Homo-oligomer: A and B are copies of this chain.
Amino acid sequence: MTKAGRRAGESGTREAILRAARDQFADCGYDGATIRAIAAAAGVDPALVHHFYGTKERLFAAAMQLPVVPSEAITAALADAARSPDETVGHYLVSAALALWDSEELRGSFQALLRSALTSEQAAVMLREFLSEAILRPVASVADDTDPASTPFRASLVASHMLGLALTRYVLRFGPVAAASAEELAAAIGPTIDRYLTGDLR
């Protein structure tokens, strides 16, 4: 087999895995889908799926053509914030999200995900479960830990605001939220995210 032939073989295998993943996520939800079942449907060994994609979240991100693996992007922003304490965690999170969304082809994949969630209850369940998993874990690591019971509420407030920002800026392209620079938005919205993470919510 030539080198090009081998590459074509690998890309065919990857495509089969991603196709099987999309089916499994749609049929079983994010929580219900397993790498083992996806591998079986694609006719490959689970170890190969792990080798190509690592985690279920990364496989989901690849299958849905997300420009970013959310929990990794959030964790990276948190690490940046820890290194340079000039800006708050909220400011870093908003900046990091906008840097990714502004530069990558978010719009297509985000619209496709949202459109399917709006059209199909199954897709809404899948997206909801994925967001819980992808956002809750990293956010929990910086949320107020004196009251761990509040962490899911804090994380879902953050998710709600960030989804609204993406919807308004990229899909509706509504007014100044669409025209503003990432820096203006980070300055305006960052303190909100900080309050949702660690402030008094009552």
Contacts and interface: CB of A to CB of B under 8 A. Distances in A.
Contact of A117 (B152, B159, B171): B171
Taking residues whose C-beta sits less than 8 angstroms from the other chain, chain A's interface range is 35 or more
A195 interface: yes
A119 to B, nearest CB: 6
Contact of A115 (B115, B153, B164, B187): B115
A30 interface: no
Interface stretch (A14-22, A58-66, A75-83, A127-135): A127-135
A61 B117 CA distance: 24
A37 interface: no
Identical chains in the assembly: 2
Interface in A145-202: 152-153, 155-157, 159-165, 167-169, 171-178, 180, 184, 187-189, 191-192, 195-196, 201-202
Contacts of A189: 157
A100 interface: no
B163 A168 contact: yes
A114 interface: yes
A109 interface: no
B128 A118 contact: no
A118 B114 contact: yes
A128 B159 contact: no
Interface in A95-112: 111
Contact of A176 (B118, B152, B167, B175): B152
Contact of A165 (B128, B155, B164, B187): B164
A124 interface: yes
B131 A174 contact: yes
Given A111-B118, A156-B177, A163-B168, 5 more contacts: A131-B172, A132-B175, A159-B175, A161-B161, A191-B195
